[in-house]
Structure 1
Amino acid sequence: MTTTRKVCALSLALAASAGYAADDNLFEDSLWALSPEELGQIRVTSIASGTITPLDKAAAVTTVITAEDIAAMGATDIDEVLETVPGLHVSPSTLAYFPRYYFRGIVSARNPQTLMLVNGIPLRTLVFGNRGHIWGGMPLKAVERIEVIRGPGSALYGADAFAGVINVITKSGKEINGTYTGARAGSFDTQAGWLLHGGVYGDWDIGVSLEYEGTDGFKEIIASDAQTINDNAAGTAVSHAPGSVNLGRDITEVRLEAGFKSFKARLGYQGRNNLQTGPGVIQALDPYGEFRSDRVNADLTYDFSNLADHLSASAQVSYYYGTQDPESNNYLYPKGTVLVFSPGSTASFPDGFIGNPGYKEQNVLTQISSLYSGSKDHRIRLGLGYFWGDVYETTETKNFTPMFTPRPGGLESVADTDEVWLPEKDRTSYFGYIQDEWQFAQNWQLTSGLRYDHYSDFGQTMNPRAALIWATTESFTSKLLYGRAFRAPSFEELFVISNPFSLGNPDLKPETIDTYELAFTHYLSKEVEYSMNFFYYRIKDFITFAPLNDGTPRSQAKNVGRRKGYGTELEVKVNPSDKWTLTANYAYQKSVDEAMDEDVGDAPNHQIYVRSDYWFDPQWALHTQINWVGRQQRPPGDTRPDLDDYATVDAGVRYFQGQQIEASLFVKNIFDRDAKEPGPASALPEDLPLAGRSIYASLQYKF
C-alpha cells in the first residue's frame, strides 16, 4: 500500500471512530494496514470542527505544528513558531514589543482579531481584547502541538475568532512519559531551565511542567523617538534616543494536568516580571519602566462518553485571572520634558511625564457540547455556554491632568476617581451553536454550522459557516469554504474616559468579516505533497482609534469603515530520502481600505519560508531555515518609502544519545541581517528593529 493510500486509510479510521459506519467513509482501506511509524507521519486536527480529522479533510484551512517541528526550528518562543505559518506574520507592536499576529494582512494596533486558545480555552483580556500587553512570550517545552486556523472561527469559538485561531495544546502525562530536566543559555544574557514529569499511574494521567527564562533582550538601536519630536519643538535635549530598545524580562510558566477516567483538570500559571517597555509606552524610550503580570487559568472537563446510544457529551468550566501591575514608574516622556501645545503655550515636567496604569481581571466560562452520531449520514454537534467577566481594581498613579498639564500634587493616585484610565466594568454573554457534518455521498461531505452570541454591553450576533469537502481522488481533496466571524469591542475601545491618548466609544458595533476560500490538497507521490488555497474576505465596521482633532494628541475608537482582502497560500513537503525532509510555503495577500482604495499597509504582501531537516547520522540532525518577509507598504497617509524586504537564515545541530540525552546548538539570523518592522511615522520614523545574530545552546536529560 502506498503512502497516499495510507493517508486515505486514516481518513476512514478516524471518521469511523467518531461515529461513521465503515461503508459511509470516503475511502475503503483499513487503518490496521498502517504501521505505528506511518501513523506518526500523518497529521490530524480537531480545531476545525471539534472532532479529530485528517488535515486534508478538515473543514477549514489549517496548519498543525508538532513538538518535533518546534525542536527542528530551534524555537524558544511561540512567536518564532507562528512566523513559519503561511499567511501569518508576527510583527512587534510599540507596546513593549507585544507580538501582533497578522493573518492575511488584517492589521491593527492591539491585534484583537486573533483568538489564542490554550487547550481550547480562550486566553484573552477583556481590557484590550487580545492576550494582554504584558505578554513576555510563551516558552515551548510543555507544548505538544499548535493548531492554527487561517480564517474565521466564530461559528465554533465565538468572539475574536476573526482573522484566525491559534490553539496551543500542552503535553499530558502520557505524552511526557518520564522526567526531563534541561537548561539553555545564549545571547542577550539569556538563561532558561525546565523540568517536566508525567506518566500514567493506574487510572490517573498526571503531568507537570515548570519553565523559567530570564533575558536582557536584544539591544538594537532606536535612532529617533516621540521625545525627539518634543525636543525639536521645545528646544530641549532630553530624549534617550539614539538608544537601545528595552526588552528585558523574567518568565515563569507552571502547568499541571490530571486526568482520572472521564475527568480532566488543568491548572496553569504564567508569571511575567521585570518586563520592560520596549520603545516606551508611547514610543519615547524609557530605560526605567517595568511591568509585572500574573495569569492563572484553570479548567475542569467531564466527558459523558456513554450518555446514550450514539450520543456523547462533555461539560466544562474554566476560570481565568490576569493582572497588569507597574513595578516602577513608567516615564511616558523622560525627565525634563517640555510639551508645546501652541506658540507660547507649554507644560514642563522636570520629573518626567509619568503614568502607571494597572488592573485585575477574572472571568468564568461554562459550556456543554454534545455529539449525536446515530444517523447514517450525519454527525450533529450542539453546544451551549455562559460567560462572565469582570475588570476590577483599575489603578493609576500619574503626575499630569487630563489636559496634559502638571498635577499640583505631583505624582498621585487617581484610582476610584473619574480620572482613572479605565472604569471598572463587567460583561456577561451566553451562546449556543449547532453544527452538522453531512456525508451526502461517498466522496462528499458538507459541514455547516451556526452560532448565536448575546452580549450584555453591545447586543447580539449570529455567525454561520459552511465547508463543502470533495475527495476528488484517493490522493486529491478539494474544499469550498465560507465563514462569518465577529470581533467584540474591548473595554478599552468602549469605556476608556481619561486616557491621555485614546478614548473609548460606548456606541461601537462589533467588527464582522465574511470569508470565502477554495482549497486543494494533493499527495502527488509518497515523497511529495502540497496544498494550496485562495481566499477573499470583506470586513465591515472595522474599529480603529481616529484622531479627535481637538488640539491634543488624543484619538477615539470608531467603526471607521470597510476593508477587503484576497490572496493565496501554498505549502509543499518533500522527502528526497528517508533522512531528509524539505518543508516550504509561500503566501501572498492584498488588503485594501475600501474608502481610500489603497493597500492597508504594515503587513508584507509576500512571504516565503523554507526548512531543511537532515539526519546525517542516527544521533545527529542538521536543521536550516530561511524566512523571507517581502516589502511592507506604508498605510495611507504615511509618505515614507516602503519598508524593505528582509531574509533571515537560521541553522542548528541536534545530538541524541538514545532517549536519555538531547543537546542542541542554534544560530539565528546567521548573516546578522538588519531587519525592521513598521513603526508609526509620528513617533518612530526609522521603525522597529529586530534582533541581530544570536546563538543558543541547550542540554536536556531524561531520568
Structure 2
Amino acid sequence: MLIATSFNSFATSNSSQADLFSLDIAQLSQLEVTIASNTSETRATAPSTITVFDEQKISSLGIINAFDVLNFVPGMQMARGDWVGAVPKEHARGVRLDNGYLLILLDGVRLNESSFGKATVYTPFIAASILERVEIIRGPGSALYGSNAFLGVVNFITKKQHQQLTLSIGEHGYKALSGSYSHKQDDVTFNGNISLQQADGQSYAVTDNFDVKDPLKHVLLNAQLNYQDTKISFHFIENQLDEFINLGGYSNENVHKSQSFSTSLEHNLWQNERHTLDALVSYANFQIDSSGMVLPKEFGIVSEDFLVGPNWQTQWTKFSLSHSLKLAEDKQLNSGLEYRHASQYQAGATTNYYDYQSELIIPDDSNYLGSLVRLDNIPEFAALRASHDFYGVFSQLKWQLDEKWLLFIGARYDDIQGIDSKLSPRFSAIWKPINHHSFKLQYGESFRTPVNNELYSSDSVTKGNPNLTSEYVKTSELVWLYTDNNLSLETVIFHNQLRDFINLVPIEGNSFFTFDNTVNENITGVEFSASKAFSKLNVLVNYTQLFDEPINASFKRFANLSLRYPTSFATLYLNTIWRDKIEEALSEETQFFQASYSLVNFKMEREFGKQSVSLSAENLLDKEYAIFDPRVWNGAVPGKGRNLRVNYQFNFN
C-alpha cells in the first residue's frame, strides 16, 4: 500500500505477499527505502517526498507496463504523445514537455541517455510482472543523482528472492510469459528475471476507411550475481512498437524498435564500524530504429508517403565511489564522486526518401527508395555524434538533533564539460512533535542538461543550439504525515520555480525551428493522500491540485482511488484514475477539448496454495478519450482502450 510513515524503525526485507498482508498500516509505513539518500530511511525520515509500491500493490493495479504505476502517484501521470504515440510520456507537477524530466532507474542503473535525455524512447516498456518494488522521489533529486533528477526519480526494483512462473492471455492477441529465479549456495547468490510479451494491438480509426493498431513485442532479461562483497548485474530490454502514431503521423508503415543494455560491477572496498567505501563501474548502451510518416502522399508533394526517423546509438560508461562515515551516534556523513562519459556514436536515419548524391534526406519522387532503408550515419546528422564528460561530487550530513528533530544538509556539484556546471543544494528539517505526526520542511534544486538533439540537431525541421544552458528548478515543500495502525494521511504543499526551460522557437526569416532557454514559470500545488484500513476493506485516495496553469496544457487536477476487498472466494481490487478536463487553442481555427474522465482498472485473484489465477482489466469500461499533444495537427492522441487478461501464477518457493 502507499502509506505515510513515522520515525520508528521497523526492519523488514524482501517480505512475501502473505507477510505484507499481515502488517497493519503503521508497520507497512516502516518499510525502508534508499532512493532519497545513501542511508536507509522510512518515508517519514527520508529527506524527500517519497512514494513506495510493494509487490502486492503493484500486482493489485492490474497494469502491464511498469510506467503506468505513475498514474497512481500524487503529482504524476503517464500518458501517450506523438513521438512515439505508444511510448509513455511523463507529467510531473504540471510539467509535460517530454524531455527527460524524470530520472528512471532499473535496479539503481540510469536508463536516461544523452541523445533525447529520456528513458521512455529507448526503454518504453518494463514489465510490471517482474517488479518487487517501485520507489519514487516526488521532487528534486539532483543533490544525489545529477542531471535528469529534475521533477522526480523512479527506481524500478526487480524481484530478487522469487521462484515463480506467470502466464497471461488476453484481448487483442495479448500473450505473456514471465519468470523469476533465485538460488543461494554458500557465499554465492544468483537471481534473474525474464519477461516475454506480444500483442496484436487495439484498432484506432484514423479516418472513415483507415485504421491503425498499436502492436507490442517486448523482451526483458536481467540477472544479478552476489559473491561476498561483490555484485555483478546486467539487463537487456528490447521493444517493438509499430504502426499507430510516430512523429505526428499515422501509418501502417511506422516502425519503432529500441534496445537497452547495461552491466555493472559493484564492490565494497572497505568497511569497519565507522567507514564504508564502495566502488561501482557500469556501462550502458541504447539503440533506436524509428520512422514515422511525416508527409502523406495526399498532399501531392510526393507520390508515396514520406517516412523518416532516427537510427541512433548512444552509450555511457560510469565510475563512482561512495563513502559513508559515522561521525557520532547522532551524525552520519555520506559523500561520493562520479565520472560518466556519454557519447552518441551513430546518427543515421530510417527513411524511404534519400538523395545519395547530395547525402541529404529530400522528399522528392526522384529520391524514392522503394521501401524503408536504414542509414547508419549520414553527414546531415554528423554533429550529433558527440561525446561529453560528466564529473560530479556530493556530500550529505544526516544529524539527529534529538528525538524530535532530524536534519539533512547536502549538495552536489556537477561539471558537464563543454556545456554547463551546476550546484544542487538540498535541505530537509523533519520534526515529530507528538506520536503519529511528522512535519517536513524541504528545499532542493535540480537541473537537466541539454541533450544532443537540442544542441546539435540539423534536419528539415530543427536546428540545434550549442549555446543552450541547463534548465533548473528550485523546489520548496511543506509536508505533514499522520500514521496510526488503521489510518495514514499525507499532505504536501510544493512550490516550483522553473527557470531557463528549453523550448522550440522559430528562426526569424526561415521555416526552421531552434531551441532556446525561454520558459520561466512558477507552479504551486498540493498533493493529498489518505489510506484507511477497515475490517476488510482497504481504501487509498490520492488527489493533486495545481494552483497555477501547467506547462503545455498538462493536467491541473487529477486523482485516483484504490480499493482492496478480500472475500472467501477471491480478493477483489478496483483502481480508478480521474483526470480533469483540458482545453487548449492550437490556432484560431483549431481547438482541443477533452472533458474530464475516469479510467477503471479491475482485478480479481484467487489463490490455491502455491498457485493463483486472476482476471485483470485496464480501462475496464473501454472509455474513449484523447491525450493532448501540441505537435499533432488537432492536438489529440487517442488513449488506450480496454485490455482484459487471464493470468496464472505458480510459486515454486
TM-score > 0.5, shorter chain as reference: yes
Q: Distance in 1 between matches of 2:571 and 2:326?
A: 45
Q: Distance in 2 between matches of 1:591 and 1:44?
A: 34
Does residue 204 of structure 2 align to residue 251 of structure 1? no
Among candidates 245, 249, 252, match of residue 287 of structure 1:
252
User: In the alignment, which residue of structure 1 is the partner of 2:506?
Assistant: 547
Among candidates 610, 622, 626, match of residue 576 of structure 2:
626
Q: Distance in 2 between matches of 1:469 and 1:384?
A: 27
Structure 2 counterparts to residues 93-242 of structure 1, below 5 A: 93-97=81-85, 98-108=87-97, 110-172=98-160, 175-176=161-162, 178=163, 180-223=164-207
Among candidates 636, 643, 647, match of residue 694 of structure 1:
643
Preserved contact between residue 100 and residue 148 of structure 2 (Cα < 8 Å): yes
**Displacement, 1:43?**
2.9
Q: Distance in 2 between matches of 1:113 and 1:449?
A: 21
User: In the alignment, which residue of structure 2 is the partner of 1:358?
Assistant: 311
Unaligned runs of 5+ in 2: 14-19
**Displacement, 1:222?**
3.5
Greater CA drift, 329-338 or 159-168: 329-338
Q: Distance in 2 between matches of 1:296 and 1:89?
A: 26
User: In the alignment, which residue of structure 2 is the partner of 1:449?
Assistant: 410
User: In the alignment, which residue of structure 1 is the partner of 2:261?
Assistant: 296
**Displacement, 1:350?**
1.0
Q: What percentage of residue pairs aligned between the two structures are identical?
A: 22
Among candidates 301, 313, 320, match of residue 284 of structure 2:
320
Structure 2 counterparts to residues 39-78 of structure 1, below 5 A: 39=27, 42-78=30-66
The amino acid of 1:249's aligned partner reads L
Structure 2 counterparts to residues 174-573 of structure 1, below 5 A: 175-176=161-162, 178=163, 180-223=164-207, 243-273=210-240, 275-281=241-247, 283-304=248-269, 307-326=271-290, 330-335=292-297, 337-338=299-300, 348-396=301-349, 398=351, 399=353, 406=364, 408-411=366-369, 416-420=377-381, 423-497=384-458, 499-523=459-483, 525-548=484-507, 550=509, 552=511, 554-573=512-531
Preserved contact between residue 580 and residue 613 of structure 1 (Cα < 8 Å): yes
User: In the alignment, which residue of structure 2 is the partner of 1:647?
Assistant: 598
The amino acid of 1:54's aligned partner reads T
The superposition leaves residues 409-450 of structure 1 with CA deviations (integer Å, 9 ceiling, x where unpaired) of 444877554323763111111110010011223211110111
TM-score by length of 2: 0.91
The superposition leaves residues 363-422 of structure 1 with CA deviations (integer Å, 9 ceiling, x where unpaired) of 111111111113233110010110011111222254257695527444487755432376
Distance 1:353 1:10, change over 3 A: same
Q: Distance in 2 between matches of 1:504 and 1:125?
A: 18
Distance 1:132 1:615, change over 3 A: closer
Greater CA drift, 447-456 or 135-144: 135-144
Q: Distance in 1 between matches of 2:380 and 2:228?
A: 52
Distance 1:353 1:363, change over 3 A: same
- The alignment of Structure 1 onto Structure 2 pairs a total of residues equal to 632
Distance 1:6 1:253, change over 3 A: closer
Structure 2 counterparts to residues 77-88 of structure 1, below 5 A: 77-88=65-76
Preserved contact between residue 295 and residue 306 of structure 2 (Cα < 8 Å): yes
Q: Distance in 2 between matches of 1:485 and 1:586?
A: 25
Q: Distance in 1 between matches of 2:586 and 2:427?
A: 35
Q: Distance in 2 between matches of 1:190 and 1:478?
A: 46
Preserved contact between residue 222 and residue 689 of structure 1 (Cα < 8 Å): no
The amino acid of 1:332's aligned partner reads V
**Displacement, 1:78?**
1.2
- Greater Rg by CA: 1
Q: Classify the secondary structure of the residue corresponding to 1:349.
A: coil
Preserved contact between residue 337 and residue 353 of structure 1 (Cα < 8 Å): no
Q: Distance in 2 between matches of 1:35 and 1:210?
A: 26
The amino acid of 1:317's aligned partner reads V
**Displacement, 1:167?**
0.8
User: In the alignment, which residue of structure 2 is the partner of 1:344?
Assistant: none
Q: Distance in 1 between matches of 2:211 and 2:191?
A: 40
User: In the alignment, which residue of structure 2 is the partner of 1:581?
Assistant: 538
Q: Distance in 2 between matches of 1:485 and 1:664?
A: 42
Q: Distance in 1 between matches of 2:513 and 2:364?
A: 21
Q: Distance in 1 between matches of 2:34 and 2:520?
A: 32
Distance 1:363 1:147, change over 3 A: same
